[in-house]
Structure 1
Amino acid sequence: MSSPILVVEDNDDLLVLFKLILESAGYQVETVNNGRDALKSLEEIQPQLILMDIMMPEISGLQVARNIKQKQNYQSLPILLISAINDLKDEQLQNSKAEDIIYKPFDLDDLILRVGSLISDRYNSKIMDSY
């Protein structure tokens, strides 16, 4: 069985929605509702991708992404950010080191396509690195 996708979202309704969407697309999904729990559970869950809201209490998704990417074992872990703020500065996104962002409201098919693409890119990169 493949590694799960870790969904980090503080809105319970959206957390359930993301879980349902991703599971219906065939993915195993683990969820947490804040950035601190995401960082704590990283080693245990070993996700293949993180889908994470930017606006969360205590620690933002941008900060969590940056913290994760600083860890040597997780530099290639794809992170897809979710935001209701359409005018985030490119610099903020670049500094987070996340691979992509999707804005609310989002198209469900687009979400699934982006998740699949990021997972595929990481898998292909690992294969190329092994040669």
Structure 2
Amino acid sequence: MGKKILIVEDEESLLKLESILLTSKGFEVRGVANGTEALEAIAEEPPDLVLLDIMLPELDGFEVCRRIKEQEATRGIPVIMLTAKKSREDMSRGEEVGADWYITKPFKSAMVIETIQRFLAR
């Protein structure tokens, strides 16, 4: 069984694309479309890594990341922010809430895969 990755992305076409990309690389993928679902999915079955969009309905990615990192049980899960928000403030905020890495859209698939593999190899 491959490593489990939770993709949190509200844009359906992108969620499908990312799911196909990661599944083709042997990962077990679960996709959710908002922050609340993300936290429920993590509580149900903690993934090995979270690929997290920032602009989400209900809870934004910053809040989701903060909650993942403040819980003892989920603190060790790597969180990679994958977002169109490119400003320095957004990136610093990502760091503040504990994001492990920050990739901006549009992204290159190879870079995303490489980053995920790097975190999962630890």
Other-structure match for 2:39: 39
Secondary structure in 2 aligned to 1:73?
coil
Other-structure match for 1:116: 117
Higher helix share: 1
Contact 1:3–1:46 (CA<8 Å) still a contact in 2? no
Contact 1:35–1:60 (CA<8 Å) still a contact in 2? yes
Larger radius of gyration: 1
Q: Which letter does structure 2 place at the counterpart of 1:37?
A: E
When the two chains are superposed, the root-mean-square deviation of aligned CA atoms in Å is: 1.1
**Cα distance between partner residues in 2 of 1:44 and 1:4:** 13
1:44-83 equivalent positions in 2, closer than 5 A = 44-83=44-83
Percent identity, please.
Answer: 33
Q: CA deviation at 1:43?
A: 2.3
Other-structure match for 1:18: 18
Secondary structure in 1 aligned to 2:31?
strand
Q: Give the TM-score taking structure 1 as reference length.
A: 0.87
Other-structure match for 1:9: 9
Q: CA deviation at 1:93?
A: 1.6
Q: Give the TM-score taking structure 2 as reference length.
A: 0.94
Alignment size in residue pairs: 121
Q: CA deviation at 1:114?
A: 0.3
**Cα distance between partner residues in 2 of 1:18 and 1:45:** 20
* Per-residue deviation, residues 36-70 of structure 1 (Å, max 9, x unmatched): 00111212222000001011112110110001110
**Structure 1: 4+ residue segments shifted above 3 A:** none
Q: CA deviation at 1:104?
A: 0.4
Other-structure match for 2:94: 93
